[in-house]
Every structure is written in structure tokens, then in C-alpha cells.
């Protein structure tokens, strides 16, 4: 299997070809873990690097992430069947009052590509909904997104809801979005802040490794 070609298809956002190559690879008995690591994750690492260097922008990154996800749809059932465990579980959503989801979707796709099992609650998500889902799926991490200065304070409400329930210490909180900063993350007792989807992957891996 030509992993370089698979990587290029992901980078170019060619989802149909990605699905085709992943299916062919599995038919040829190529290890699903190898397809994931050498093909899909490798491609997103290249995309992440290009994004950091301003060689590509959010639209290209979204296209690549979508193509990677199309490959993941075929790979996931096989990985699960062969007992390959995700590196962690995370609940993600845009907080109550905020209807923006492009950044959140990109982070979700990138984290999923990095081997994290993702549960997306969508937009306008209440503190109670975050808490319920995190408990239900046994999440390791909760990712909060906000794009407005007016909705940003609700991130604090979500973390306080977990504190009130006496389970705050069981979860790592990562926050992000245009108005959010490292200083704000510290002020609300979040574990970390991610400036963009590429940094979110690095930060999440470090948090889950602890």
C-alpha cells in the first residue's frame, strides 16, 4: 500500500480516493493501525505543520480533516473489532448561547484523527448536558468552545457545574475560541487553552498521557 499517496489524498481533501485506498488496504490485509498512523495521522501532521507555517488556511485544513474522517469511517469498526483502544475519550461542544461551530468541528476532527474517541454535543450546550455526557461515556476530557466574548463566561459555569457535582478532578478541561486566552483559562480553573486545532492535538495528547 502506498502510504505517501494516501497521505497526499488526505492533504488534498480528496475523500473519495481516501475511502477507496483505505478499503483496498484493508482488503490487502494491511494492518488497520498502520493505515491509521502511516496514512491518516501522518497526513494530518503534515497539514498541521503547513497550517502553523501559514502555507495553508482553515478551508484547506477543513477539507483535509473531512477527507481523513471519511477514511476513519471505514477504519473505525475494524480498529474496534481488533481491540485497538483509543488513547482517550473526550466530550466537545460550543457553550450555551453560542451557535458557532466551524472551529469546534475542526478540533473534533483533528482530535479524532489523533486517536481520541470524540462525542460532539453540537452548539448551544448547557453545563448540565456537558456533565451528563461526560459521566455517561466515561470521558477523560471536556473540550469547551466559544466564539463570542458574551458567551465565553459560560465556560466558567460549565466547570463550576462539575465542581458542584463533586467530579471536577475526574476530567481535564480544554478551552478554545477567538476571545479565549491562556490567562482566561487559568482564571476559570481550566486545565489548558488551545489557540487552534493543531495545538489542541498536542495539548490533548499531553493531558491524556498524564
Q: What is the pLDDT of residue 114?
A: 85
Displacement of CA 67 from its chain's centroid (Å)? 15
Q: Tens of pLDDT along 138-189?
A: 999 999 999 999 999 999 999 999 999 999 999 999 999 999 999 999 999 9
Task: Name which residue leads in pLDDT, 90 or 106.
Answer: 90
Q: Tens of pLDDT along 55-70?
A: 998 899 999 999 999 9
Inter-residue long-range contacts of 22-25, CB under 8 Å, 24+ positions, other chains counted: 22/71, 22/74, 22/75, 23/74, 25/1
Q: Tens of pLDDT along 3-56?
A: 999 999 999 999 999 999 999 999 999 999 899 989 998 998 899 889 889 999
Which band of pLDDT confidence, cut at 50, 70 and 90, is reported for residue 197? confident
Q: How far apart are CA 40 and CA 31, in angstroms?
A: 13
Domains of the chain: 3-81 (1.10.1240.10), 88-209 (3.40.50.280)
Q: What is the pLDDT of residue 9?
A: 97
| CA 50-54-55 angle, 5° bins | 55
Give, as one character, the DSSP assignment of residue 117. Answer: E
Residue 79 has pLDDT above 90, yes or no: no
Give yes or no for a contact between 154 and 96, defined as CB atoms under 8 angstroms apart. Answer: yes
Q: Note the helical H segments in the chain.
A: 3-12, 15-27, 32-34, 42-52, 58-81, 102-113, 127-137, 154-164, 182-187, 197-209
Amino acid at each position: 500500500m502506498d502510504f505517501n499517496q494516501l497521505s497526499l489524498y488526505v492533504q488534498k481533501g480528496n475523500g473519495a480516493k481516501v475511502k477507496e485506498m483505505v478499503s483496498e488496504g484493508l482488503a490487502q490485509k494491511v494492518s488497520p493501525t498502520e493505515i491509521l498512523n502511516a496514512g491518516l495521522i501522518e497526513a494530518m501532521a503534515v497539514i498541521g505543520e503547513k497550517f502553523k507555517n501559514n502555507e495553508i488556511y482553515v478551508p484547506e485544513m477543513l477539507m483535509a480533516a473531512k477527507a481523513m474522517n471519511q477514511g476513519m469511517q471505514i477504519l473505525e469498526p475494524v480498529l474496534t473489532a481488533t481491540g485497538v483502544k483509543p488513547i482517550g475519550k473526550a466530550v466537545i461542544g460550543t457553550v450555551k448561547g453560542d451557535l458557532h461551530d466551524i472551529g469546534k468541528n475542526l478540533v473534533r476532527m483533528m482530535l479524532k484523527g489523533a486517536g481520541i474517541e470524540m462525542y460532539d454535543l453540537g452548539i448551544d450546550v448547557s453545563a448540565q448536558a456537558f456533565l451528563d455526557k461526560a459521566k455517561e461515556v466515561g470521558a477523560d476530557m471536556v473540550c469547551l468552545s466559544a466564539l463570542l466574548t458574551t458567551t465565553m463566561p459560560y465556560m466558567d459555569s460549565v466547570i463550576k457545574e462539575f465542581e458542584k457535582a463533586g467530579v471536577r478532578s475526574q476530567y481535564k478541561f480544554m478551552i478554545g475560541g477567538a476571545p479565549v486566552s491562556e490567562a482566561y483559562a487559568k482564571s476559570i480553573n481550566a486545565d489548558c487553552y488551545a489557540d487552534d486545532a493543531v495545538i489542541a492535538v498536542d495539548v490533548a495528547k499531553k493531558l491524556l498521557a498524564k
